[in-house]
């Protein structure tokens, strides 16, 4: 083995090790569970949570990402059904590794009954994983958008563009002077300008629980204030086995 190939092998082992390390956290069960079978069984009406604690992210990120990808692929293995509703909630999306089927899921899962809700805090995190072009595609494929207060002007400016523009009519006044008073005059002209429907400043100045909602079709862009509702806890949020 040459020094070059030895370094390559070491690099491959290191990469593989970082991804398969999560397998150590899996517990053997008497009855195996299949994500694919669960997705494709229309009689199942319960929820499947794929969660991890903050201090487990580095170790569990690969396997949670893989499970999410399996769930998406399994939906495409179902027969098209406009009445089926299978919701995918992916909060803090940039925490996961790149999910190659995500764009296809957003674009094509509708006829299989797929519904996707994505949550993220800023675009740079998403672009680090998916790149600028695919990140824009992901945002564009989300036809309903909830925009809360932004932390930076650049992000607010970027997302302001996704909300579109509106035409405004402005009156411009011009004054002309002549040698005699009778030659003086005032000219009025109307100018049509394109302005953002929601400016970056509007996004930066949102208050707590205030949100702009953009929905598909001709539904007007709306600003609302959400009401916080504290839900009583009736079970443990996470049970360590």
> What confidence tens digit (pLDDT) does each residue in 103-151 have?
999 999 999 999 999 999 888 999 999 999 999 999 999 999 999 998 8
CA distances to 61, 62, 229 from 96, in Å? 6, 7, 28
- Grouping H, G, I as helix, E, B as strand and the rest as coil, residue 52 is coil
Q: Is pLDDT larger for residue 33 or for residue 6?
A: 33
Q: What CA–CA distance (Å, rounded) separates 26 from 186? A: 80
How many CB atoms are closer than 10 A to CB 176?
9
Q: Is pLDDT larger for residue 22 or for residue 112?
A: 112
What pLDDT score was predicted for residue 117? 97
169 Cβ contact partners less than 8 Å away, ≥ 6 residues apart? 190, 191, 192
Query: By C-alpha distance, which of 108, 36, 112, 91 is closest to 67?
Result: 36
25 falls in which pLDDT band (50, 70, 90)? low
The answer on pLDDT for 98 being more than 80 is: yes
Burial 41-72 (b: 16+ CB within 10 A, else e): eeeeeeeeeeebeeeeeeebbbbbbbebbebb
Q: Is pLDDT larger for residue 201 or for residue 18?
A: 201
Q: Mean pLDDT, to the nearest integer, of 193-208?
A: 90
Q: Which domains does the chain have, with CATH numbers?
A: 19-163+197-225 (3.40.50.300), 164-196 (no CATH)
> What confidence tens digit (pLDDT) does each residue in 150-181 have?
888 998 998 898 888 877 777 777 676 666 66
Residues in the chain: 241
Mean pLDDT of the chain: 85
Q: What CA–CA distance (Å, rounded) separates 151 from 200? A: 11
The answer on pLDDT for 15 being more than 80 is: no
Q: Please state the pTM of the whole predicted model.
A: 0.78
Query: By C-alpha distance, which of 27, 89, 18 is closest to 59?
Result: 18
Q: What CA–CA distance (Å, rounded) separates 25 from 93? A: 22
Lowest mean per-residue pLDDT among 22-31, 140-149, 195-204, 231-240: 22-31
Where do the H-state alpha helices sit in the chain?
3-20, 35-40, 57-76, 102-108, 123-141, 153-162, 200-204
The answer on pLDDT for 7 being more than 90 is: no
What pLDDT score was predicted for residue 106? 95
Q: Which residues pair with 118 in a beta bridge?
A: 90
What pLDDT score was predicted for residue 113? 94
- Grouping H, G, I as helix, E, B as strand and the rest as coil, residue 165 is strand
185 falls in which pLDDT band (50, 70, 90)? low
> What confidence tens digit (pLDDT) does each residue in 38-64 have?
999 988 888 999 888 888 888 888 889
């Amino acid at each position: 083995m040459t020094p070059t190939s030895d370094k390559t092998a070491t690099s491959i082992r290191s990469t593989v090790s970082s991804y398969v390390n999560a397998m150590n956290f899996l517990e053997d069960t008497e009855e195996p569970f299949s994500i694919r079978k669960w997705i494709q069984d229309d009689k199942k009406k319960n929820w499947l949570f794929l969660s991890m604690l903050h201090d487990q992210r580095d170790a569990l990120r690969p396997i949670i990402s893989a499970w999410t990808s399996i769930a998406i692929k399994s939906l495409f293995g179902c027969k098209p059904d406009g009445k089926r509703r299978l919701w995918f909630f992916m909060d803090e999306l940039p925490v996961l590794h790149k999910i190659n089927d995500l764009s296809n899921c957003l674009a094509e899962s509708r006829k299989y009954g797929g519904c996707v809700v994505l949550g993220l805090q800023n675009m740079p995190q998403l672009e680090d994983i998916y790149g600028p072009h695919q990140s824009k595609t992901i945002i564009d494929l989300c036809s309903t958008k909830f925009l809360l207060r932004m932390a930076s002007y650049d992000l607010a400016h970027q997302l302001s563009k996704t909300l579109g523009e509106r035409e405004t009519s402005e009156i411009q006044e011009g004054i002309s002077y002549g040698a005699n008073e009778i030659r003086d005059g005032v000219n009025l002209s109307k100018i049509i300008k394109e302005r953002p429907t929601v400016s970056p400043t509007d996004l930066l100045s949102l208050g707590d629980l205030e949100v702009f909602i953009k929905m598909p079709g001709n539904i007007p862009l709306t600003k609302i204030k959400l009401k916080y509702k504290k839900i009583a806890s009736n079970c443990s949020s996470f049970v360590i086995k």
